Amino acid sequence: MKELIVIIDFGGQYSRLIARRVRECGVYCEIKPHTITAYELEKANPYGIIFSGGPNSIYDISSPKFDLKILELGLPILGICYGAQLIANNFGGEVVKHKVKEYGSTSVELVCESDLFNGLPQKFDCWMSHMDTILSVPKNFKIIASSLNCNVAAMQNTEKRIYALQFHPEVSHTEHGTKIFENFLVDVCKCQKKWQLSSFINEKIKEIKDIVGEKKVISALSGGVDSSVAALLVSKALPEQSVCIFVDHGLLRKGEGDEVERVFKRQFSMNLIRVNAKERFFNKLKGVTNPEKKRGIIGEEFIRVFEEESMKIGGVNFLCQGTIYSDVIESGAEQAAVIKSHHNVGGLPVNINFKGILEPLRGLFKDEVIKVGLELGLPSCLLSRQPFPGPGLAIRVIGEITEERLNILREADEIFRKEISYANLNEGINQYFAVLTGIKSVGIKGDFRTYEETIALRAVTTKDFMTAKFARIPYPVLEKISTRIVNEVDGVNRVVFDITSKPPATIEWE
């Protein structure tokens, strides 16, 4: 039986962090919405359940509730903060609304033996963030830890195997937090910590084989991390039945298309079709300067090429995509069926008739995807790639796209990326690239007046790409980049550095 822990999400900001901690302990877990029923849970057959925290008071009318029958399933439960208060309230304990929110680090003291705290010191620091407080424990529950402001910092009912923590073991400010999870998973839920990425790979390979049978799969490969790892996994499972389609629209960075082809075709002997569709993209983009029009044309043409190629291959039943767990959570599609007839992540075709969609990475976080990639042998240069927009360099060449203008940008962009890497700054900057601004200005090279292009350097630090700050690149590094670009790239006589945050600017210029 597969070891599974279900995290019931009550809207807590740390739910994903709980999932991370559980997986770090070697146990597979999934986050489910609080509307999950006891029946659905029973079918999923988990080893234990974790109730997450949440921003509400349990007394708010709109506060998230859960199916009370879950408490009767006899499964071990760990409630955290809001989850702990729900447990206390439902078993008849007293939960009160406090006027002041307790927020921050505080010392907690163990007052009674508990499997949850095996191997922990008598006192340690924990992170509190709550408004409601458990004032008295329900019948048959015992207080197991207290803090200065919180008599019931933790409680348990060992017979029912139900535990509740007022503090947050998942945040790094709580000392021994991972150990608390490990104790719950191993000592209470009896998990054997068997989940590892290598076992994940073997399981997925078997699953892909079972689903696809004798049929054919095509994988859409962009060269980005997620689609590369997903395609490689499918190809490992079914080397003779899978084909990767890599649409080269001629708008990639310098050397990128060749690198993708080399890695997947030569290194992994994958069945890869690189569709050199540059001409048709360029024809469609001729004379187009409006950014939204460029995007629309590229998206549409991408779909057409993809459709044509899959028709040529014929008899294709499955499409593989690199959807990952954050896409699933963010799109609110947690409950979505494994096989869907339409999907549009990353501009993929919506109107081709596939029997099913394969999303082998659907359950993984980004860093886990990278670890799977490493385990499968993908080179780190591919795995450490920064995000690259689907429309490629078309939205970094302001104005009309021509081969000549693209080449200017490619050369400047390569210098920028290399210099950032030489200066060991690449790990600290989340996205950086050059932009051909379309502005010509007067300069002087040697004894001659020039009237040439301006390159802008864009570099940002960001967590989620929704907001961003411009990266503080040291002046000597900027100076070197600028000098190299104006000396080495024909047609450029000026380099500027974009010092705008997002908002109000976006990361890309178009």
Element (H, E) at 280: helix 278-285
Among 431, 437, 454, 493, indicate the residue that binds ligand XMP (CB under 6 A): 431
Nearest distance in Å: CB 301, ligand XMP? 14
Nearest distance in Å: CB 440, ligand XMP? 24
Span near ligand XMP by CB under 6 A; candidates 25-33, 230-238, 322-330, 387-395: 387-395
Residues 121 to 160 in contact with ligand XMP, rule: CB under 6 A: none
- DSSP at 183: I
What does the alpha-carbon distance between residue 432 and residue 465 come to, in Å, rounded to a whole number?
12
Do residues 50 and 77 lie in contact, with contact meaning Cβ atoms separated by under 8 Å? Answer: yes
Under rule CB under 6 A, residue 343 binds ligand XMP: no
Under rule CB under 6 A, residue 508 binds ligand XMP: yes
Q: How far is CA 480 from the centre of its chain?
A: 34
Under rule CB under 6 A, residue 385 binds ligand XMP: no
Adjacent-strand bridge partners of 77: 49, 162
β-pair type (216-220, 162-165) = unpaired
Q: Which residues are part of the catalytic machinery? A: 81, 168, 170
- DSSP at 62: T
Q: Output the six-digit token pair for 417.
A: 């990326």
Which C-beta is closer to ligand XMP: that of 158 or that of 326? 326
Nearest distance in Å: CB 494, ligand XMP? 23
Under rule CB under 6 A, residue 76 binds ligand XMP: no
Span near ligand XMP by CB under 6 A; candidates 107-115, 385-393, 410-418, 474-482: 385-393
Nearest distance in Å: CB 506, ligand XMP? 3
The dihedrals phi and psi of 331, each to the nearest 5 degrees, come to -85, 0
Residues 249 to 308 in contact with ligand XMP, rule: CB under 6 A: 295
Among 391, 396, 405, 453, indicate the residue that binds ligand XMP (CB under 6 A): 391
Under rule CB under 6 A, residue 384 binds ligand XMP: no
Nearest distance in Å: CB 391, ligand XMP? 5
The dihedrals phi and psi of 351, each to the nearest 5 degrees, come to -120, 30
Which C-beta is closer to ligand XMP: that of 314 or that of 503? 503
Q: Output the six-digit token pair for 309.
A: 């190629």
Among 291, 389, 399, 438, indicate the residue that binds ligand XMP (CB under 6 A): 389
**Nearest alpha carbon to residue 308 among 219, 245, 359:** 245
How many residues bind ligand XMP (CB under 6 A)? The answer is 11
Under rule CB under 6 A, residue 390 binds ligand XMP: yes
Under rule CB under 6 A, residue 228 binds ligand XMP: no
Nearest distance in Å: CB 404, ligand XMP? 24
Element (H, E) at 325: helix 325-330
Which C-beta is closer to ligand XMP: that of 157 or that of 321? 321
Nearest distance in Å: CB 321, ligand XMP? 14
Q: What secondary structure does DSSP assign to 196-253, as a single string?
A: -HHHHHHHHHHHHHHHHTTSEEEEE--SSHHHHHHHHHHHHH-TTTEEEEEEE-S-SP
Do residues 144 and 155 lie in contact, with contact meaning Cβ atoms separated by under 8 Å? Answer: yes
Span near ligand XMP by CB under 6 A; candidates 267-275, 389-397, 473-481, 492-500: 389-397
Among 98, 173, 215, 502, indicate the residue that binds ligand XMP (CB under 6 A): 502
Residues 441 to 500 in contact with ligand XMP, rule: CB under 6 A: 465
What does the alpha-carbon distance between residue 480 and residue 475 come to, in Å, rounded to a whole number?
9
Nearest distance in Å: CB 284, ligand XMP? 16
With tokens 């050199």, the residue in question is 276
SS3 percent helix, strand, coil of the chain, rounded to 5, is 35, 25, 40
**Nearest alpha carbon to residue 222 among 270, 261, 267:** 261
Which C-beta is closer to ligand XMP: that of 296 or that of 399? 296
Which C-beta is closer to ligand XMP: that of 328 or that of 507? 507
What does the alpha-carbon distance between residue 157 and residue 114 come to, in Å, rounded to a whole number?
10
Which C-beta is closer to ligand XMP: that of 46 or that of 347? 347
What does the alpha-carbon distance between residue 405 and residue 416 come to, in Å, rounded to a whole number?
17
Q: Output the six-digit token pair for 238.
A: 């079914």
Do residues 433 and 396 lie in contact, with contact meaning Cβ atoms separated by under 8 Å? Answer: yes
Chain contacts with ligand XMP (rule: CB under 6 A): 295, 387, 389-391, 431, 465, 502, 506-508
